[in-house]
Amino acid sequence: MFKSKKYAFNPNTTDTLIGEGTTFEGRFKSEASIRIEGTITGDVECAGDVIVGEHGSVKSNISARDVILAGSVQGNVTAKGKLTVTSTGSLYGNIQAASFIIEEGGLFQGNSKMADAKTVPDLPEKKEPEPDNKPAAAAVPPAASGAFGGQPIAL
């Protein structure tokens, strides 16, 4: 009655649309391209392209073949190909891509690392910061570790 069909995904087609007014929370993974016009909170991993529309808002890390940002993204972006921030787009986070384009009016705040498509890794796993077990008095700021021990010097 219900037969399982083997379906070959085409990463060149837009398979999924998160519409305006829709909110999604959690990890999102797709073999085809996706378009986001709503809000996503959580990681996005896509074998195809990710397009964040003008009304789209993403608070997560994105890993995809190509990424086009016309909306807002807060998180790190890894693109195996091209990352484009349009004139209406904003990106607050670090990027790693083979090609990076920011149109006039687009906003990018973060660090960028350029690599060819073969060396761009998959989305790195999040690591929790290790707690610092040193007592507060033992922590010495970098400026205080010099030859004068952080003491003011009269010239």
Q: Given this model, what pLDDT does residue 3 score?
A: 52
CB of 63 closer than 8 Å to CB of 47: no
**113: its two tokens:** 């690392």
> What pLDDT does residue 46 have?
93
Which residues of the chain register pLDDT less than 70? Answer: 1-14, 117-155
Specify if 133 maps to a domain: no
Residue 85 lies in a domain: yes
**Residue 88 covered by a domain:** yes
Beta bridge partners of 99: 82
Enclosing domain of residue 36 = 10-108
Are the C-beta atoms of 5 and 22 separated by less than 8 Å? no
pTM (2 d.p.):
0.68
Dihedral pair phi/psi, residue 142, rounded to 5°: -55, -35
Instruction: Report the pLDDT value the prediction gives residue 120, as an integer from 0 to 100.
Output: 60
The reply to whether 153 falls in a domain is: no
Examine residue 73 and state whether it is found in any structural domain, yes or no.
yes
Contact indicator for 33, 13 with CB cutoff of 8 Å: yes
Q: Is residue 5 part of a domain?
A: no
Establish if 81 belongs to a structural domain: yes
Q: Is residue 131 part of a domain?
A: no
Work out how many domains the chain is built from and give that number: 1
Q: Residues 6 or more apart from 144 whose CB is under 8 A from it?
A: 150
